[in-house]
Structure 1
Amino acid sequence: MSTTVSTPDADETCAYCGSRIFEHDPICVRDCEESCGSPAYFCNYACLAAHVDEENLTAGNACEWSPEE
């Protein structure tokens, strides 16, 4: 699997809130399970976390842990 790394445009906006990412602490996220589509940019971890929660992206993907195991 190969991925090309590039710097987003200076005016790139957050996929969640629409703010310019470089006015904050930007994060790039790419789903490499399905042909490594275009990256999504978030202006900070709070927007990324809110996006994950709203889209229910962890449902069925997280490991389950039990103290009995």
Structure 2
Amino acid sequence: MSTTVSTPDADERCAHCGSRIFEHDPICVRDCGEGCGSPAYFCNYACLAVHVDENDLTAGDACEWSPGE
């Protein structure tokens, strides 16, 4: 599997709040499971965190760790 890195357009909008990402501290996220899909851009970590929480993206994932396993 290979990944292509590219710079988003200057007026790319945040996937959560719609702000222009380059007016803040942008973050690019890509779900690289099967199919990898397009990257999503967030203007900052707060918008990314809210997006993760609202969509329950940590449920059943590596964020649930049991030291006995």
The alignment's TM-score, normalised by the length of structure 1, stands at 0.90
* Structure 2 Cα separation of the partners of residues 34 and 20 of structure 1: 29
What displacement does 1:64 show? Answer: 2.1
Instruction: Please state whether the residue corresponding to 2:28 is helix, strand or coil.
Output: strand
Shift of 1:35: 1.5
- Does residue 44 in structure 1 map to residue 40 in structure 2? no
Unaligned runs of 5+ in 2: none
Q: Distance in 1 between matches of 2:10 and 2:59?
A: 33
Quote the sequence identity (%).
Answer: 79
Q: TM-score, normalised by structure 2?
A: 0.90
Over the residues paired in the alignment, what is the CA RMSD in angstroms? Answer: 1.1
Q: Secondary structure at the match of 1:28?
A: strand
Which residues of structure 1 form unaligned runs of 5+? Answer: none
Deviations 1:1-45 (A, max 9, x none): 111110000000000000000000000000110211100000000
CA distance in 2, matches of 1:5, 1:50: 25
Where do 4+ consecutive residues of structure 1 move more than 3 Å? none
Paired residues, what number? Answer: 67
